[in-house]
With several copies, the nearest count.
Chain A
């Protein structure tokens, strides 16, 4: 059983293609962390496939020395679904953008997540259309001025994690391009989850939407604007871990620890909660009112479409016996002409 795998390094996962993102783009960091994670997964390189749609982010597969499919806009989750059904033995990754995944591809994303195939989806959220040079995306905030919204966007933005949770996700997480340790850990957790993992990565597009996540990456402010979720631990944040989140009915509120509040009064994170209501509530915490949670919001075990498909086939093979086409053809009423 124990196959001797050659020990691979991140550089073994670099393809021979020139990386063509803008200098300074957050995508570089995500690629770097991914290349760190891949060799640690115990999966041979040739068993991995990266599938993407169209967008700057979707160029990702070209840069990873695995199998790859750079498809058409928005369809990567559906392609991955077919691939995973055909080949449950493969580790399938989907790389998508906020436009690719939530605009044109929203429906496929939703259905891939609810089917819970064992696929890992990483959405690079830069809150803009990068590749087409700067139109607003479904995650751009209200009022955002872009090429297609000179007077500011008037569409309420979508929140990727709220949607994923709204459609029965079993693994939901968030990380940040520049938070490299956290990102690495998050990608690894996603890879290890059995079922569809959905990871939102805040990614800076320094050309068309520079600084969109400055509040969360700026050294000075990030301790107050970001809160790291840990399973079973209370929600604590602040430079000196002096602040926490407490639940008031169904509403989270920020409290200062010490002044009559201690850690036990805080909201404790439970990524394994049966129902996703807590994960949903956490997905609503947004800057500037709240620190934004990063980490794993939800990780539960549910049946996986690909495995169920395999097992239905196995079961039917067992109960109905040999699949003999000649027998099928000759079933029912037949007659012979002589």
Chain B
């Protein structure tokens, strides 16, 4: 990492930090996602642990400069292991008044606030709904405010290239990056490489010049009297890269297909925030991946069922409203007992709700959202990189138990990024898949619903001689799979399907307890709240409190050892980004008075608010 200190000021004071949380905020057209991604990669390459949280405006592109159009990207980098993109900001870059207005409340007192002074003109202020200019009225006194003539400086930097003003202004994000890179002693090199591969000609030049101009501004002006340094983190040895949640999910399913020697079929209909999985997989034709953009979610789901019947690793991806539409067909999948994955990247609900915001409120729908007694395994990813393993594990369950599996992610995981220790395919365990072979007339007739010791039925593929059989959504006779209206058989089949799903828990590894395995308080998290819960519990442990943490990857069935663990604690707290859905499962199954800590505000938990909540048990 020869370049890792390049750009660190030689003239000014350098302050060492444990970590920092920085947010770029500006108009959707201002390239804030790009700026954030570059800082993320650069920090990761510098050896920090990183975690990010992009925050898009609602789906529609609002007029420039309005509050509705603000886009943000938050990054947390540190010299120790971290699990969240940070609660409050150490530094905020606001490219216009609207960005200032919508983001300021997250900046900690005394934090660094960099604004583009040029954008605080009459129109900009009006659009943001500022009656007075906040740069002048003293309302920002509790922050370290840096008013940079960012637009003017950028224009100056690229002037000689003869670009139009519009094109020049499109480099403002690089200027801002340069400045922030200087501030945190970051190398420009990775971004330079990026610019050279992604842009051409004078646009590339302009971006590079702006980047350097921003860096130089920090270095030379008097405004900034110090910069910061965040040392490399002590991470597990290995080769790393950054990975985004949806990307990890896409890569995970491709890997699972290879490990199981299946072809991958994706039936999907675009929906925020799941669409990117479709986009990634559409690029993987050379991996033999078949992507089918269906006419709607019902077609996506039923095409998935068709592909599963044909023998593919068939998956479907969607978000809450789309999963609602798939409910009837998922029931068919359960009845057919074919392996497939249903991936729900959750977003804010109900109905269309808050499409670009995160929430964990589709757990009920995952577990209960179908007609009849219709159980299926449900598994949830906990972080962007974890999506990779979760995808593989979900497919393992699906083929081992011949069942659709619901995999839950959420908008926060889907768009967030973090370092990922790059695995080697050959080191990943194979996923064994068996298909019954051909039969002759002399063999006993094929029984499509004859089960193995796990209660899984055979996955017989069309095309196999001697296995012709017919399946469907009507209740089936045990063993033969023929239609049956027999009362006792129905009871037996309902029990069997339930037992089969319950058997999945027999394969789980022991639940890991973070902290003592008994004590005052047990915090139980699931899905994307893993990082903040873990961090909060560790901090409270550091403060000497008797609190432990477990994270549930498996929502249905719940782990066999869960009850025992819970019984060793006085209190159980289940924080969720919903109004208490996992909580309901736990309370009903174990008749245990667990309590919820619930929030539905389109954002992840802050570590601070969790610590406050945990603190209540110790006050």
Residues on A lying within 8 angstroms of B by beta carbon are 15, 17-23, 44-47, 49-51, 54, 56, 59, 61-62, 65-75, 78-87, 89-90, 103-104, 106-108, 110-111, 129, 131-133, 135-136, 138, 147-151, 207, 309, 312-313, 315-317, 319-323, 325-326, 328-330, 332-338
Contacts and interface: CB of A to CB of B under 8 A. Distances in A.
Contacts of B374: none
B45 to A, nearest CB: 5
A320 B286 CA distance: 6
Contacts of A319: 286
B486 interface: no
B68 A332 contact: no
B105 interface: no
A71 B275 contact: no
A45 B439 CA distance: 13
Contact of B237 (A68, A82, A330, A337): A337
A129 B424 contact: no
B343 to A, nearest CB: 16
Of all A-B residue pairs in the complex, the 10 with the closest CB atoms, nearest first, are: A82-B306, A70-B472, A82-B303, A68-B470, A86-B310, A83-B306, A316-B285, A78-B299, A79-B306, A104-B296
Contact of B352 (A54, A82, A322): A54
B306 A81 contact: yes
Nearest to B328: A72
15 contacts: A18-B66, A46-B468, A59-B60, A78-B295, A79-B303, A81-B294, A82-B303, A104-B296, A147-B279, A150-B282, A326-B424, A329-B251, A330-B241, A333-B241, A337-B240
B: interface residue count bin: 35 or more
A132 B356 CA distance: 11
Interface in B282-320: 282-299, 302-312, 314
B474 to A, nearest CB: 7
B293 to A, nearest CB: 5
B352 to A, nearest CB: 6
B240 A107 contact: no
A135 B424 contact: no
Nearest to A207: B61
Nearest to A333: B41
B243 to A, nearest CB: 9
A82 B314 contact: yes
A82 B307 contact: yes
A46 B469 contact: no
B278 interface: yes
A71 B304 contact: no
A108 B311 CA distance: 22
A336 B423 CA distance: 13
A82 B468 contact: no
Contact of B63 (A20, A106, A108, A317): A20
Contact of A86 (B265, B332, B466, B468): B265
B288 A147 contact: no
Interface of B: 1, 41, 44-45, 47, 59-64, 66, 68, 190, 193, 235-242, 251, 254-255, 258, 263, 265, 267, 269-272, 275, 278-279, 282-299, 302-312, 314, 321, 328-329, 331-332, 336, 351-352, 422-426, 462-474, 482-483
Contacts of A17: 470, 482-483
A85 B268 CA distance: 14
B355 to A, nearest CB: 9
Nearest to A314: B285
B70 to A, nearest CB: 13
A82 B304 contact: yes
A312 B285 contact: yes
Contact of B265 (A82, A323, A326, A332): A82
A204 to B, nearest CB: 15
B402 to A, nearest CB: 15
Contacts of A317: 285-286, 288
Nearest to B483: A62
Contacts of B263: 86
A79 B284 CA distance: 23
Contacts of A332: 241
Given A47-B463, A71-B305, A136 B293 contact: yes
A19 B424 CA distance: 50
Contact of A323 (B66, B287, B462): B287
A264 B312 CA distance: 54
What DSSP secondary structure best describes chain B's contact surface?
Answer: mixed
Contacts of A78: 294-295, 298-299, 302-303, 306
A78 B332 CA distance: 14
Contacts of B310: 82-83, 86-87, 90
Nearest to B267: A82
A20, A49, A54, A317: residue with the most chain B Cβ atoms closer than 10 Å: A20
B321 A73 contact: yes
Nearest to B259: A325
A302 B278 CA distance: 27
Contacts of B236: 337
Given A86-B314, A132-B270, A71 B302 contact: yes
B69 to A, nearest CB: 8
B286 A72 contact: no
Contact of B295 (A69, A111, A132, A207): A111
Given A17-B482, A66-B468, A82 B258 contact: no
Contacts of B251: 325, 328-329
Contacts of A336: 238-240
B231 to A, nearest CB: 13
Nearest to B445: A16
Contact of A46 (B255, B279, B299, B467): B467
A313 B288 contact: yes
Given A79-B302, A317-B288, 4 more contacts: A80-B306, A81-B292, A84-B306, A104-B297
A166 B16 CA distance: 69
Contact of A104 (B282, B295, B423): B295
B435 to A, nearest CB: 13
Nearest to A56: B60
Contacts of A20: 60-63, 66, 68
A160 B464 CA distance: 35
B63 A18 contact: yes
A46 B45 contact: no
Contact of A82 (B44, B272, B302, B467): B302
Contacts of A73: 321
Nearest to A138: B295
A79 B66 CA distance: 32
B275 A79 contact: no
Contacts of B312: 86-87
Given A18-B66, A81-B292, A150 B283 contact: yes
B296 A107 contact: yes
A44, A69, A78, A87: residue with the most chain B Cβ atoms closer than 10 Å: A78
A51 B62 CA distance: 21
Contacts of A61: 470, 472
A82 B292 contact: yes
A335 B299 contact: no
Contact of B469 (A67, A150, A325, A337): A67
Contact of A326 (B193, B238, B267, B425): B425
